[in-house]
């Protein structure tokens, strides 16, 4: 089967890969190993071709104007630049469809891209399968209400590039794979057809399950891994370390990942000084997926103190697969990654005191730690196995290409 993959990025080799990027890479690797022909259409910053793998066409352009602004808040200069990029992406996608002639298009992630690749695929009449790792597709598809028709010709032109055409089969009638029940509900809320929405949890790779039963590591180190951005709540974790120190509980917080803004790291460093725990915060930088199983097993617990509605929570799932108990925020899809009080603990987002109290339980109660460690491995194995995830995606692609969806 010929499959065209649309994704904002497709990192290979040593390039950092988080969440959706990593899942897309593993799905594509599985499809290629299963004998399918795969072309990945992605942004210009990616490597053109991978050895012994899929063909990668890095021809799309990204960098939309300020993602925090709605299109009607953009300046006209922003709109004109965006229209140029949108037109480019539309033409590139049409060319890829004509040249490769895929039997199905797998839409993995359009974050920061224009909506025009989706429009091109939709207009070409090629079957589509959407993988909703977050709410990006929701914003790309939009509500498409009749109100758009009354917004004037210029805004209508902009809308055309932001969202796929409404003629023919509705975009919302194609299969959508959601990474959590939380994400599924968001898409059902904009009118996606219920029988086309399926929950497929992100997968954890085999090395995370290979370590066997755990014994509690020496020391009280805490792991916080992933993109080092405000949404992930690193500042909440730093404050929690300070509050623990006030209670006489000494812990070391290891931050694993790349900072997108130096100002945020500076804020964390200043906060650590204010709480008197600057020596307890360890900045580790990015570690590859291959290095992470050993990293999880070094620590007493892992935390995801996210302050936004996290779509899923891969770090939580991976940590439990390694027998590392977790403390996560009760927000978005994160609660679906934990069996509360059995494999981990949950706290309100942004509540540093609650986070500190939960961490204290895990680092001071050895019996509780041991029970949660064993239960977490069983829980992760029952829900988050990579081969199950990639097989579910492949099955959906095959059914959709055959018209069986």
- What is the arithmetic mean of pLDDT over 123-145? 77
Per-residue model confidence as pLDDT tens digits over 312-357: 999 999 999 999 999 999 999 999 999 999 999 999 999 999 999 9
For the chain, domains (ranges, CATH) are: 2-203+386-401 (3.40.50.2000), 206-383 (3.40.50.2000)
DSSP string, 42-62: EETTS-SB-TTS-EEEEEE--
Cα separation, 398 vs 346, whole angstroms: 38
| Whether pLDDT at 161 is above 50 | no
Of residues 200, 189, 210, 273, the one with CA closest to residue 238: 273
pLDDT score recorded for residue 44: 76
Cα separation, 308 vs 194, whole angstroms: 26
pLDDT score recorded for residue 141: 64
Per-residue model confidence as pLDDT tens digits over 90-106: 999 999 999 999 999 99
If one compares 61 and 286, the residue with the highest pLDDT of the two is 286
| Whether pLDDT at 148 is above 50 | no
Cα separation, 343 vs 369, whole angstroms: 9
Cα separation, 288 vs 226, whole angstroms: 11
Cα separation, 399 vs 264, whole angstroms: 45
| Whether pLDDT at 266 is above 60 | yes
β-sheet bridge partners, residue 131: 177
For residue 281, what are its two tokens? 């915060």
Q: What is the share, in percent, of the chain residues with pLDDT greater than 70?
A: 86
Q: 44 with 60: CB under 8 angstroms?
A: yes
| Whether pLDDT at 270 is above 60 | yes
Q: Which of 102-116, 130-144, 220-234, 242-256 has the lowest mean pLDDT?
A: 130-144
pLDDT score recorded for residue 137: 75
Of residues 186, 179, 219, 215, the one with CA closest to residue 316: 179
Query: Coil, helix or strand for 326?
Result: strand
Close Cβ partners of 138 (under 8 Å, ≥ 6 residues apart): 132, 186, 187, 190
What is the pTM assigned to this prediction? 0.89
| Whether pLDDT at 45 is above 80 | no
Cα separation, 199 vs 80, whole angstroms: 38
Please, what is the average pLDDT of the chain? Answer: 88
pLDDT score recorded for residue 139: 65
- What is the arithmetic mean of pLDDT over 27-54? 83
pLDDT score recorded for residue 94: 94
């Amino acid at each position: 089967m010929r499959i065209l993959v649309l994704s904002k990025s497709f990192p290979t080799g040593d390039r950092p890969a988080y969440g959706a990027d990593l899942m897309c890479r593993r799905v594509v690797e599985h499809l290629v190993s299963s004998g399918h022909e795969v072309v990945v259409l992605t942004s210009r910053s990616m490597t053109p071709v991978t050895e012994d793998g899929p063909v990668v066409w890095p021809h799309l352009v990204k960098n939309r104007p300020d993602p925090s602004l709605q299109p009607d808040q953009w300046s006209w200069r922003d709109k004109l630049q965006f229209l140029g990029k949108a037109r480019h992406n539309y033409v590139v996608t049409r060319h890829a469809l004509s040249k490769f002639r895929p039997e199905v298009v797998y839409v993995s992630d359009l974050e920061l891209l224009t909506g025009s690749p989706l429009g091109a695929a939709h207009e070409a009449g090629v079957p589509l399968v959407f993988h909703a790792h977050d709410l990006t597709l929701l914003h790309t598809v939009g509500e498409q209400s009749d109100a758009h028709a009354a917004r004037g010709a210029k805004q209508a032109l902009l809308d055309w590039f932001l969202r796929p055409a409404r003629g023919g089969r509705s975009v919302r009638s194609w299969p959508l794979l959601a990474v959590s029940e939380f994400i599924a509900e968001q898409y059902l809320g904009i009118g996606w057809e219920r029988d086309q929405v399926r929950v497929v949890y992100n997968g954890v790779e085999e090395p995370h399950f290979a370590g066997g039963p755990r014994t509690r590591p020496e020391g009280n180190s805490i792991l916080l891994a992933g993109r080092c951005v405000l949404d992930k709540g690193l500042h909440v974790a730093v404050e929690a370390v300070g509050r623990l120190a006030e209670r006489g509980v000494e812990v070391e917080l290891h931050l694993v990942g790349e900072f997108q803004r130096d100002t945020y790291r500076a804020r964390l460093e200043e906060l650590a000084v204010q709480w008197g725990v600057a020596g307890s915060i360890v900045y580790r930088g990015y570690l590859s997926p291959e290095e992470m199983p050993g990293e999880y097993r070094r620590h007493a617990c892992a935390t995801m103190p996210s302050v936004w509605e996290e779509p899923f929570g891969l770090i939580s799932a991976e940590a439990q697969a390694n027998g590392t108990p977790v403390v996560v925020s009760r927000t978005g899809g994160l609660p679906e990654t934990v069996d509360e009080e059995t494999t981990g603990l949950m706290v309100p987002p942004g509540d540093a005191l609650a986070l500190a109290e939960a961490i204290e339980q895990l680092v001071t109660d050895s019996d509780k730690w041991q029970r949660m460690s064993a239960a977490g491995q069983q829980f992760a194995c029952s829900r988050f196995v990579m081969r199950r995830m990639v097989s579910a995606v492949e099955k959906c692609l095959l059914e959709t290409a055959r018209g069986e969806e």
